Each structure stands twice: as C-alpha cells, then as structure tokens.
Structure 1
Amino acid sequence: MNDLKNIFSANLNKLMANHNESVTDLAKSIGTAYSTVSDWKNCKKMPRSGGLQKIADHYHINISDLLEEVVDKEDSSNLDWTDLGMAYGGHIPDDLKDMYRAIAEEYVKKHPEALQRDKDNK
C-alpha cells in the first residue's frame, strides 16, 4: 500500500501543479476538508474510492490515472496527446484530423488577418 500511496501522492501533486491549484482550491472543489487533501498530497493517507472518484471527476481523468506510475519525460519536445490527457489513446483518427483541417481552413478563409497576426508576432 505504501508504494500505491507514493504513486497517488506524486500524481496528485503533478495534477495540482499543472492546474495551478492549491490544497484549498481542490478541497473546496471536491467538497473535502483541507486537512484531508493535505494528507493525500503529503503522502500521509490514501483517499477511499469515493474520494478517488471525486478527484478523477474534477480532473476529467480515470481513477487508474491517479494510481498508475507515470515515467517522467525529460524532453518536453516528445510530448504527445496522451501527456495532455486527451482522448483516443493519444492518437487522432485520420477522419478527425481531416475535420480539424477543414475547420482551420474555413476559419482562415473568414479571418485572413489571423495569419498576418501570427507572422507579426514571430
């Protein structure tokens, strides 16, 4: 259980940091006491299944994402959709890529100034 508690605590700390959330923010959001979230964050306690579900729902992830060890990637240039918690197992289906491309092309047709702004900002 200690290993699982360490993994959970590390994942919770990463999630909170990535979302710029304090213990107070998370506690209020999920309706849990500050001291309880603090204990989870500091690897003193593990939440029960209901607490795990509240945290998972809050971050829009699966409970398993809270309990599985994640290998840190040192080079952020290797990030992919899975690092962002995106759906489709980290892979965008071709038909969805085509839809995104069509939306982007339509936007650029209607707002050509957006391309100029991008060039000016470089």
Structure 2
Amino acid sequence: MTTFERIKKLSKKLNLSLQDVAEKAEIGINTIYKWKNYDPKGTDLAKVANILHTTTDYLLGRTNNPSIPDSSTLSDDTLTWLDLDMPYGGSVPDELKDYYKALAEQYIKQHPEILKKRDEK
C-alpha cells in the first residue's frame, strides 16, 4: 500500500476528505494528491500524520500498525538503531544513548522555539 493509499484509508475512517486533511494540516489543498507520484516532504507528512492520529512510519509503510505508541510504556531501554533511522539492527548501547540524549538537549537549548511551538498546540 502506498503512502497516498494509507492516507486515503485513514481519512475515510475519520470521515475526512483528502482536501479536509490538507486544510487541517495547513498544506496545499492538492498536495496529498501529488503524493501519488512524488515523495512527500517530511514536514508535510508529519502534519498529515498528526491530523490522522498516526505516525509517519505507518504512512511511509515502515510499519503496518497505524497506532501511535504509548510513550508511557516506552523506556530508554527500548531505543533501537531503527528509532534513529539507522537500519543496523539491535539496540543502541547504553553509552551511546547518553550521547544522543546530550545531543538532543543541546539542540533544544539552541532552538527553544521548538518547545514554544509544542506548548502552543
């Protein structure tokens, strides 16, 4: 199933037209239709996933589960290379988890507007 087909299927479940989804996601009204032939921009796909209450991984076909994982059940121990978009297999060693956490914290310090955008939603 293509990204377009997955979006269409979830939209139908929510009784939304593709144009409704595009408007709610604040992307061009025909953008989703263009994804029949072109790969979506990550930012636009993330907006659509948010509207459809799913993940970009589901829309891209990386998983067949449209549900958003419950973050309360996740722990640092569940971090895998695939989570970091690196298909090496296995879990990330503990010493590298701290490194990635430090990188993320530094990024947030340098870009505090990210937290403001999140809190506004």
TM-score (ref. length: structure 1): 0.48
Higher relative contact order (CA 8 A, sep 6+): 1
Bigger proportion of residues as helix? 1
Tell which structure's C-alpha radius of gyration is larger.
1
